[in-house]
Amino acid sequence: MKKYLIVLGLCTSFIFAHGQNLTGKQAIDLKNKKLIIGLSDTWQIDKVKDKEGYKRDIENQNNALRNAIEKYWTFCVIDTFMMKSDAFALAKKEPEKWAVIDIALKVEYENYGGWQTNPKAAGADHSPTGIFRHPVDQYKYTPNQFAATNEYCLMRLYAPERIFSVGLPRKLVTQADAIYGVKQIQYMLNELAKDAKSESNDWLDECHGEALKTKTLLINKDDVDEDMTEADMKVAYKYPFRIVSQDEIDDAILKETADVAVVHLINTEGSRGQAFSQFITNPASGEIYGVIMPKGGFGIQGITIKWNARIKKKHFEKIQSVADCKN
């Protein structure tokens, strides 16, 4: 009998922070395809002020993705790398042969009158009313009638349509972020490939966090609610944990530290930047112990409540329930 990790509230469609319901059959089919690393280009360079900074950040992102894939990807054959526009075109031409993985910054907009009065006013970077913009302030370019309400970075897997994606912790992607994304996608593919009838939504309904009891939980000090004391944390979570810097979390990922688990806050698609999912993973294996999803009517104009934006006592208690859950 299944035991549910978390009450998912209203956002069950946002599994893996921006993912699709990946199936075991899709994972098995992917094993027979060749992977193309889709690189980002500088197509927006004419619209930014700091052109050199823009080029540098795109280059760093591309290098991080390539390095992570070439070092850690084993699920299927890595064939080559190319600009993502060319990669997508090739995958659509020969869908039985190719899959593509890339990183994309997504931006959601609404007009000043609100998306409720004009549904077409809210869009992502490929919609008629959305436009890509770089996260660094001096790079921003927004049409006058729209305001960006949410920005988030995704690692996406196409075969040839998008079948899965993982939200990344930062908009300016680091090497640690790229490794985190690659390992998480690959872990889920390996899990689902065990059974052609399996689905990622069902997988998340099951218990996977028992190993947390033997790990030291690493939590970014900037993600913890400022009213939480260490005594409060120890009451809510009885297993080992440490409140650390982001650098220490990055170091655990880069060094593949197996005896810890890390918590990442990931922005939720469609939430106007108001809702976050808390992912609990192993930095060495990419194992996913659990996901604490936001619940509530987020994304509605006028609502300013931030769901799961900081780790509070109730979240420590939910992480405890992940560790204690049994199928």
Average pLDDT, the chain: 80
**Residues 166-170, mean pLDDT to the nearest whole number:** 90
- Please give the pLDDT value at position 45: 76
DSSP 231-268: HHHHHH--S-EEEE-HHHHHHHHHTT-TTEEEEEEEEP
**pLDDT of 135 higher than 90:** no
**For residue 286, what pLDDT is reported?**
95
Question: pLDDT tens digits, residue range 77-100?
Answer: 999 999 999 999 999 999 999 999
Domain extents in the chain: 22-197, 203-324
* pLDDT at site 90: 96
Placement of tokens 């859950």 in the chain: 325
Report the pLDDT value the prediction gives residue 272, as an integer from 0 to 100: 63
> Per residue in 250-268, pLDDT tens?
999 999 999 999 999 887 7
Provide mean pLDDT across the span 216-243.
Answer: 93
DSSP-derived 3-state class of residue 167:
strand
Q: What is the pLDDT of residue 111?
A: 53
Please check the confidence at residue 138 and state whether its pLDDT lies above 80. no
Return the CATH architecture of domain 22-197. Answer: 3-Layer(aba) Sandwich (3.40)
String of DSSP letters for 82-147: EEHHHHHHHHHHSTTTEEEEEEEEEEEEEETT-TTT-GGG---TTSTT-----SSGGG----TTEE
C-alpha span between 201 and 205 (Å, rounded) = 7
> Of all residues in the chain, what percent carry a pLDDT higher than 90?
52
